[in-house]
Every structure is written in C-alpha cells, then in structure tokens.
C-alpha cells in the first residue's frame, strides 16, 4: 500500500501539477443541471456573482488607485476630511436597492421550489449510517442503495475507477419529465440528500418527514453524495439517479418487482465501526445481515 501510495503520489504530482494545466480544467462552477429548478438556481447564482464582481471591481479600483497615488513616498499630503453625509447616505441606499433587485427573483424561485403539489409519483428516502433506502410508494418497489466502490480502490491498492466513490449497488431509477416528490427521513442521525445536477438538497432527519421535488428533463445518470456530516462513513454514502424514458422506467419497475427487492451490498464502506446501534431500530431488516457481515473492527 505504501508503495502504491507513493507511486500514485508521484503520478498525481507529475500528472496534475506539471501536465495538468495542459489538460482540461476540472469543474469549477455550479452545474447548470437538468431541471428547471437547477437552471433557475444557476441563473440566480450567476446574477449574484456578477453583482458581486461589479461591486468588487468598483470598490477595489478606488482602493488600489488610492494605494497607488495617495502614498507618502509620492509626496502626497493627507487631506483632512473625515465625513460626508451625502456620500454615506448614497452608499447605504444603493446596496439596499441592489438587495431588493436580488430578492425578487430569489423569492420567486423559493416559492417554486417549495411547491410540492401535483406530483406524479412519490419516492420515500430513508437515510441510515451509511446507506440509503428507497421506497417507491406508488409502484411498490423498495431497496437499499450503498457504495459500490471496492475497498481496494479506497485504500489505494487498486487503480481508481472513473466513478470512484460515486457509484452504488442499486441506482435510483426515475422517469424523465415527471414531477417526482421525495419524502425524506432518517433512522439514526441527520443526513442530507444532494444531487448537484438536479439542484435538490434537503436534510433527512430522524422523527421528521421532509419534502422536496424534482422534474428531470434529460435521460442520464446523475451522481451526488450525503451532504450532512453523519459519522465515520459520511464520505462513503453516494447517491446515483438514473433518469430514463417512461417505458423504460415501467420495464424497470416490473423487473424489480419480479426479483427480490432490496439488494444487499456486496462491497462497501471501509471498516464500519460499531458507533451506531440505531440501525437496529429499522423496520426493514432484510439488509441487516449484510450490515453485520461487514468488518466491525476499527
């Protein structure tokens, strides 16, 4: 492991720091995403960003002009003024007006995001340390979904695959162009379900049922992760959504119903510790054997 560690370190150093700039730049902005919500949020994000850029350029231009020109080494004499009611009034009112201009689209977006009415289907998401359980309330499909990246890759004993840490044993399959309502809860601690491309993020909280919705416009595979610190393997409970056309979705449902729902994870989290006894409270016990089979040795 030490050897492979060093080799990959070397590869990383030479690959990313030297040859890196010649290659593609890794993602650095919010994805535009594949839902109306994600585009709205992206536009809002860029709007506020450009507002900040303009204000920043204005303020820093004045500051750096002053730093350049009004220095003692250039023989500049200090002025004596120390207040100006007009100037102070202006620079209090202008930001206020800008804020209102931002608040209007933000309020519209917020109202839309919170409107979970008229959904076409509902998926209940239950979070566990450290995996997800999905329950398709209308179609009667339910299963667990946990990390599918092999331990060897995590511990640098095997080369890392393309979707390292962002792959699961059972993907969430959803139809495109349908308003999908999610109900979120958790069984042990607080988790959060986040997929950047769909611009959905909501906490899954024990004792609460939270709601959110999405309408995916483009078939594809969308990946995300748990966003709320939930213990040792917080970084190892990814989410994968596969969006498909309606007929393909129907086929998938039929297939799922035919087989036994709730696949046990074969690979998974690096050494699960015994910090949580809460999993035992689960009503769905079909996966507990797999949970207990894991290495409990820290």
Partner 1 sequence: MSAVTTHDDAHHEEHPSGIMRWITTTNHKDIGTLYLWFSFAMFFVGGTMALIIRTELFMPGLQVVDPQFFNSMTTLHGLIMVFGAVMPAAVGLANWMIPIMIGAPDMALPRMNNWSFWILPFAGFMLVVTLFLPGGAPAGGWTMYPPLTLQTGDAFPFLIFSVHLLGMSSIMGSINIIATILNLRAPGMTLMKMPLFVWTWLITAFLLVAVMPVLAGAVTMMLTDKYFGTAFFTAAGGGDPVMFQHIFWFFGHPEVYIIVLPAFGVLSQIVPVFARKPLFGYSSMVYATASIAFLSFIVWAHHMYTVGMPLAGQLYFMYATVLISVPTGVKVFNWTATMWRGSMTFETPMLFAIGSIVLFTLGGFTGLMLGVAPADFQYHDSYFVVAHFHYTLVTGAVIGIMGGVYLWLPKWTGRMYDEKLGKIHFWLTMIGFNLTFFPQHFLGLAGMPRRIPDYALQFTDWNMMSSVGSYIFGFAQLILVYVVIKCVRGEGEKATNEVWEGAEGLEWTLPSPPPYHSFTTPPEVK
Per CB under 8 A, contacts with partner 1 among 70-99 are 70-73, 76-84, 87-88, 91-92, 95-96, 99
Distance CA 274, CA 54 (A): 52
Residue of 168, 173, 230, 241 interacting with partner 1 (CB under 8 A): 230
Contact flag: residue 183 with partner 1 (CB under 8 A): no
Contact flag: residue 281 with partner 1 (CB under 8 A): yes
Contact flag: residue 124 with partner 1 (CB under 8 A): no
Distance CA 253, CA 223 (A): 21
Closest CB to partner 1 among residues 62, 288: 62
Q: Given the DSSP bridges, would you call strands 180-186 and 131-136 parallel, antiparallel or unpaired?
A: unpaired
Distance CA 172, CA 252 (A): 11
Contact flag: residue 253 with partner 1 (CB under 8 A): no
Least CB distance to partner 1 at residue 249 (A): 25
Contact flag: residue 54 with partner 1 (CB under 8 A): no
Q: Given the DSSP bridges, would you call strands 191-195 and 121-128 parallel, antiparallel or unpaired?
A: unpaired
Distance CA 26, CA 38 (A): 20
Give 243's contacts (C-beta < 8 A, 6+ positions apart).
34, 173, 174, 175, 176, 216, 218, 219, 220, 221, 222
Closest CB to partner 1 among residues 139, 151: 151
Provide the β-strand partners of residue 186: 127, 206
Q: Given the DSSP bridges, would you call strands 200-204 and 191-195 parallel, antiparallel or unpaired?
A: antiparallel
* x-or-dash string of contact with partner 1, 11-40, rule CB under 8 A: -x---xx--x----xxxxxxx--------x
Least CB distance to partner 1 at residue 255 (A): 29
Residue of 248, 273, 282, 294 interacting with partner 1 (CB under 8 A): 273
Strands (E), 29-69: none
Residue of 14, 57, 140, 211 interacting with partner 1 (CB under 8 A): 211
Contact flag: residue 270 with partner 1 (CB under 8 A): yes
Closest CB to partner 1 among residues 139, 160: 160
Q: In residues, how long is the chain?
A: 298
What values do phi and psi take at 285, rounded to 5? -100, 0
Residue of 169, 233, 287, 291 interacting with partner 1 (CB under 8 A): 233
Provide the β-strand partners of residue 210: 184
Q: How many residues bind partner 1 (CB under 8 A)?
A: 106
Contact flag: residue 294 with partner 1 (CB under 8 A): no
């Amino acid at each position: 492991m030490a050897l492979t560690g060093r080799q990959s370190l070397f590869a990383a150093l030479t690959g990313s720091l030297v040859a890196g700039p010649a290659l593609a730049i890794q993602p650095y902005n919010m994805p535009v995403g594949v839902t109306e919500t994600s585009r709205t949020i992206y536009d809002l994000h860029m709007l506020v960003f450009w507002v900040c850029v303009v204000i920043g350029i204005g303020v820093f231009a004045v500051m750096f002009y002053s730093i350049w020109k009004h220095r003692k080494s250039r023989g500049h004499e200090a002025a004596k003024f120390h207040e100006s009611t007009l100037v102070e009034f202006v620079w209090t009112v202008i930001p206020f007006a800008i804020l209102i201009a931002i608040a209007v689209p933000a309020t519209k977006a917020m109202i839309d995001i919170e409107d979970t009415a008229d959904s076409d289907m509902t998926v209940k998401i239950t979070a566990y340390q450290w995996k997800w359980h999905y329950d398709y309330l209308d179609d009667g499909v339910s299963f667990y979904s946990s990390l599918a990246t092999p331990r060897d890759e995590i511990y640098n004993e095997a080369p890392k695959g393309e979707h390292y840490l962002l792959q699961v044993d059972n993907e969430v399959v959803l139809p495109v162009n349908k308003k999908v309502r999610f109900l979120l809860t958790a069984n042990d601690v607080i988790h959060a379900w986040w997929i950047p491309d769909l611009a959905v993020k909501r906490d899954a909280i024990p004792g609460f049922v939270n709601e959110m919705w999405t309408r995916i416009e483009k078939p594809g595979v969308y990946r995300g992760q748990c966003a709320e610190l939930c213990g040792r393997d917080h970084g190892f409970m990814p989410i994968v959504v596969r969006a498909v056309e309606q007929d393909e979705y129907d086929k998938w449902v039929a297939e799922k119903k035919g087989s036994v729902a709730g696949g046990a994870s074969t690979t998974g989290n690096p050494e699960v510790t015994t910090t949580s006894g809460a999993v035992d409270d689960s009503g769905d016990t079909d996966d507990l054997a797999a949970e207990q089979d894991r290495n409990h040795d820290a």
